[in-house]
Amino acid sequence: MSEFRSGFVCFVGRPNTGKSTLTNALVGEKVAITSNRPQTTRHRIRGIVHRPDFQIVLVDTPGLHRPRTLLGQRLNDLVKDTYSEVDVIGLCIPADEKIGPGDRWILEQIRAVAPRTTLVVVVTKIDKITKDRIAEQLLAVSELVGPDVDIVPVSAVKAEQLDVLTNVLVGKLQPGPAFYPDGELTDEPEETLMAELIREAALEGVRDELPHSLAVVIDEVEERSNRPEDDPLIDVRAILYVERDSQKGIVIGKGGARLREVGTAARTQIEKLLGTKVYLELRVKVAKNWQRDPKQLGKLGF
């Protein structure tokens, strides 16, 4: 049998290039929230891919972008710290969009910050376009990164070429021990995952002004007392922070309808995560301009 290999792989790219969807597809479970809105990911979620002969630890970072706020700057710093700590960087470029200045800028950042880290390019979302268009994009990507970099086209949604990508990544890792016990899929605390699931539900179907302005903090998690042993219930109380009163109205909706929808969707996901019934209580508060205020950023966990 060949030697056991292990290591850390980080997917980077412009916001909304399918990094979180790819992480979830490789792990086989939902460990990173996904949304069709940029800047959905704010934490380094680690997903763990286990096989008998290897273990890949996936580090899912926020999309790298030119920062406009203190939050943006902190997210970028988080990404750059990650670059130099991993064994392989997977640069995600979507198949259905032409290579743009954003992609070139990220490649420059990678080469400046982590020149010695192995680079692999993942061309995502190949299910969205024809074979001819995929071939054109692969050629364009090859011109961008040069002949020495492996390029793997995948569709995370349709599970196409994921085995090929896994084999390429494993081939870049050194022999080494497993970092996590078999069966563990992420090392994120449950509270972080719960907050992310609530934020994902709240971002679903809202207007563009909300994504950056929304933060979720889990206030309390406790098991309900006096329940039968075979039917436990966990009370989860969470606060959704927005920056303006108008945004509070958007999240709550007419007569509280929108917030109830968010609660129902998030509760379903949290029950899956915890494996037990959950009573979820959501409140919405305004924290004016929290993205630009160092004190408030710290309080909200950034």
Low-confidence ranges of the chain (pLDDT < 50): 1, 35-43
Binding positions for GTP are 13-20, 60-64, 124-127
Residue 294: the pLDDT is 77
Residue 30: the pLDDT is 59
pTM of the predicted model over 0.85: no
Residue 293: the pLDDT is 77
Average pLDDT, the chain: 82
Binding positions are 13-20, 60-64, 124-127
Query: What does the H/E/C string look like for the chain?
Result: CCCCEEEEEEEECCCCCCHHHHHHHHHCCCCCCCCCCCCCCCCCEEEEEEECCEEEEEEECCCCCCCCCHHHHHHHHHHHHHHHHCCEEEEEEECCCCCCHHHHHHHHHHHHHCCCCEEEEEEECHHHCCHHHHHHHHHHHHHHHCCCCEEEECECCCCECHHHHHHHHHHCCCECCCCCCCCCCECCCHHHHHHHHHHHHHHCCCCCCCHHHCEEEEEEEEECCCCCCCCCEEEEEEEEEECCHHHHHHHHCHHHHHHHHHHHHHHHHHHHHHCCEEEEEEEEEECCCHHHCHHHHHHCCC
